[in-house]
Structure 1
């Protein structure tokens, strides 16, 4: 078992995975002691002025992985749906990411048009990745709840069964927030369950009690940073002083982040 996989097998202590969008955000999170950091496809896409979830950010994703993959933390990369429906192309991407230092990928079955990929297509991608890069942790995401599928329970079970059979190391069900449903699903799975943190959902400790093995922050940090930036600018424009003293890192602290979190 790889060190990253081992972080998913600590009963009662789920892996809290914060998601970065650039070198500075990853380095700052690593500085707070996070042993593993993911990327957020929304953050990567929005920072580049590109749409998320429509296979537009392959180049930007690889560029970020190149910068972060040799950092002092374990890196998992959000690759949307693999930027292709060709399993061999997705496998080639996985091999390239592993070569850059990534230890895991998040691979989703949701499509940019709001539909779900056929189960067989997504399962074939998972199998191809595991055959080409067996040590890469594949977190297979299903968007059955995220996209508002009617009665998502049975479809979620059907998809996750196929993804586990294809070799997924873990499964991710964003949008699932009901404690009873989370606990029941965790009990049916043979691999670790990943849940997306929601401010309105169960807190980390409760998710641990429910059997969740990994909790992702997704795009939350990027959106919070964006909100803070806009709020600060507006506050200063309206005559305020901006954020409270001490709430913002000093210039030198941020300038020093280039020494951590990966390579340029």
Structure 2
């Protein structure tokens, strides 16, 4: 947390020792509403789903307008929203700051900005300008050293320290699953560490014990939903009854109402 700003409710969720923020990632109004109805106080978006919905590639800066449109849809709902904004959709820090202002105006409480292994100083500049433009927006600074790089520990720490000095509120290292390396990063950093949950990595309880303050699931829910859709159709075609939870028409219709509040979804 920065010294000059009181913690926002979203920031406070990252500062509960032993209780990391478990952040589900939604892709539209109903998926976010269903997750919020199950008690998750904060919802993230997933850039893969935003891109895939429009037949566009993820991670290539092609979905700025789609991302903002989703933020406008979700930002006024009764949960805290964090937006996956790839690298800010621009190399120009001022352009990224403009996007941050728009996300904040839409009601977003946080933004996820990834370095995509571009120059660390350029990403740090984006973070600094965003925090200057919108001090209350929680900036989760992501490095891709483990996601698409070689997982070099020194390079990871160098980048995260630069982002911390630039004013980031939290740091994100997707692809990092080794408990020893996770614990080492927690010891070296003053900011909340966010990791991506992996079936090959520690459980949420184990991550909490290592000092992790935020656990995201990224595109997992969207990919699982897509897999379930294909499996369901295969079952129907094969004369079998599809398995798994299936919300009723009425439940989905109820969740479709904006500002619908506490409609239960089970």
Contact 1:236 1:242 survives alignment (8 Å): yes
Aligned partners of 1:19, 1:260: CA distance in 2, in Å? 18
SS of corresponding position for 2:256? helix
Residues 148 and 120 from structure 1, CA distance in 2 versus in 1: closer, same or farther, beyond 3 angstroms? closer
The equivalent residue for 2:154 is 154
Aligned partners of 1:260, 1:59: CA distance in 2, in Å? 21
Contact 1:126 1:138 survives alignment (8 Å): yes
Aligned partners of 2:167, 2:37: CA distance in 1, in Å? 33
Structure 1 segments of 4+ aligned residues over 6 angstroms from their partners: none
Aligned partners of 1:233, 1:200: CA distance in 2, in Å? 29
* CA RMSD after TM alignment: 1.2
SS of corresponding position for 2:112? strand
Aligned partners of 2:202, 2:259: CA distance in 1, in Å? 30
| 1:95 paired residue among 95, 101, 105 | 101
- Compare 42-51 and 202-211 and name the one that shifted more: 42-51
The equivalent residue for 1:233 is 233
Aligned partners of 2:76, 2:112: CA distance in 1, in Å? 19
Contact 1:30 1:261 survives alignment (8 Å): no
State the structure with bigger RCO (CA 8 A, min sep 6), 1 or 2. 1
Question: Which structure 1 residue ranges, 5 or more long, are not aligned?
Answer: 111-115
Aligned partners of 2:193, 2:86: CA distance in 1, in Å? 18
The equivalent residue for 1:63 is 69
Offset, 1:9: 0.2
Contact 1:26 1:261 survives alignment (8 Å): no
The equivalent residue for 1:184 is 184
Aligned partners of 1:44, 1:27: CA distance in 2, in Å? 16
Residues 44 and 185 from structure 1, CA distance in 2 versus in 1: closer, same or farther, beyond 3 angstroms? same
Aligned partners of 1:52, 1:261: CA distance in 2, in Å? 29
Q: What does the per-residue CA deviation read over 1:10-48, in whole Å, with 9 as the maximum and x for residues that have no partner?
A: 000000000000111001001101100000000111111
Offset, 1:221: 0.2
Aligned partners of 2:256, 2:149: CA distance in 1, in Å? 41
TM-score, with length taken from structure 2 = 0.94
Q: What does the per-residue CA deviation read over 1:137-183, in whole Å, with 9 as the maximum and x for residues that have no partner?
A: 0000000011132x510000110010000000000000000001101
TM-score, with length taken from structure 1 = 0.95
The equivalent residue for 2:247 is 249
| 1:78 paired residue among 84, 94, 97 | 84
